[in-house]
Structure 1
């Protein structure tokens, strides 16, 4: 005899209430930008893009157009640690993907961020994630390059820091 699911049942790292907070209809309380409105495809009407909250930040997730959704949930604790340690430090995010770690570093007070990835598509997604959280300007650079090539060309060797 199995127990019936309770309202406090957890789904991976999220509870049901966390899942309900994800939204395709609003971003930080405002109307969704026009590029995020539902679109009609051969399969009918669908919402391609949703926003997922994490530690007071919003991240775009896409459950339909890509194999991956844009946010690695198992890295959530690492992003929290980055945010806690970022105050006054610079942040280099190699293999940046959708710039979630960069957003946490900037939200934690990083003086400068550099996000590096080879994929134009994911860097554009990263720019949208940073924009959703009001992060931009010359202190937050996005570079399309291979991470190891970037290190070699920028003269950065093994990095040691007190941050």
Structure 2
């Protein structure tokens, strides 16, 4: 009887922790999303897609392990803004032949070379802003990184 009561108490305690953890996960996920929406602005969906694309490149069993991993503060790794930013960066570096381009609040996939050409056509016009220049430099950096990777593979 004592063992039964102890097990019953333990099971209830475990259920309460799981419920608390689920609620905390949802709250932290929303906080992370809000923070990244503010930081990334109209590029939020694009960066979110790049992060997801990076994760999808992992073996299936490792995807769940990585996204379910917890940090020392019990936060899910997937709810950490810095980790999300890193995944988006890795996705951009690994799959840099394509770039996500915001268009009218939506994100569409467009060939990087076509986007680079479009941006270059804006040079010396009012369309050439610091943001456009930053995107252009990012594309040039992606091309440089790909060329270096290709040279290493040949060597």
Bin for the TM-score computed over the shorter chain:
under 0.3
Report the TM-score, using the length of structure 2 for normalisation: 0.27
Whose RCO is larger (CA < 8 A, sep 6+)? 2
Q: Per residue, is there more strand in 1 or in 2?
A: 1
Structure index of larger Rg: 2
Report the TM-score, using the length of structure 1 for normalisation: 0.26
Q: Per residue, is there more helix in 1 or in 2?
A: 2
